[in-house]
Amino acid sequence: MSRTARLLDLIQILRRHRYPIQGRALAEELSISPRTLYRDIKTLQEQGAKIDGEPGVGYILRPGFMLPPLMFSEEEIEALVLGAKWVSKRTDHRLGAAGRNAIAKISAVLPQDLRETLDVPGLLIGPGDFVAAGDTELALIRQAIRKETKLTITYLTLKEQKSVRTIWPLALAFFDRVRVVVAWCELRQAFRHFRTDRILKLSPSNERYPKRRKVLLKEWRQVEGIPAP
């Protein structure tokens, strides 16, 4: 393994841990000596990585350190581009534009040989139905999810009845034919799923819901029997 690849692996290992990890464990995972590990950590710190810690205590990588895209492997680039292209074709226009912008930014900083991976891709997104309209509403839903604020919606149920609900939006799921809001419903006092094409009216609010979204998502996964990502 080259030293560059080893430094990249070290950064990735540190990113996986939220709490300090012992140098001995890092060295074992990388199959290097503790002395080599300490040199690698010093090198990364000199390059701007915010690694806190010391021998015998453990090390942790603080947020904010960005690796140059040149250090992406070919498969990592393929994964990023495939995901961005899926977003550009299967979500709303604003997210789609963001996906195309991301691809353009990646392409701008890649060396020529890797840029060909973007110009002549070997992984393609298959055809599918684009879910039209509702871009404004989707933007408001995404904003409420980020800010953890309540939404009031007028919803058309499967029985074709209108129902006014106050919901706590937790996530937005994109399927080929529908988009679904995962939310806590104050009316039903339970988790519910709302198709965005059946939301007739949406009113945003600045009122935060009382629990953190992370906690609610964990509870929703437990109720639905969905394993954590």
Residue predicted with more confidence, 64 or 102: 102
56-61: long-range pairs with CB below 8 Å, 24+: 56/23, 57/20, 58/19, 58/20, 58/21, 58/22, 58/23, 59/14, 59/20, 59/21, 59/23, 59/26, 60/14, 60/17, 60/18, 60/19, 60/20, 60/21, 61/11, 61/14, 61/15, 61/17
Q: pLDDT averaged over the chain?
A: 84
Share of the chain above pLDDT 90, in %: 43
Tens-place pLDDT, residues 202-227: 999 999 999 999 999 999 999 999 88
Q: Is the pLDDT of residue 191 over 60?
A: yes
Residue 170 has pLDDT above 60, yes or no: yes
The pLDDT tens digits of the residues spanning 20-44 come to: 999 999 999 999 999 999 999 998 8
% residues pLDDT > 70 (the chain): 86
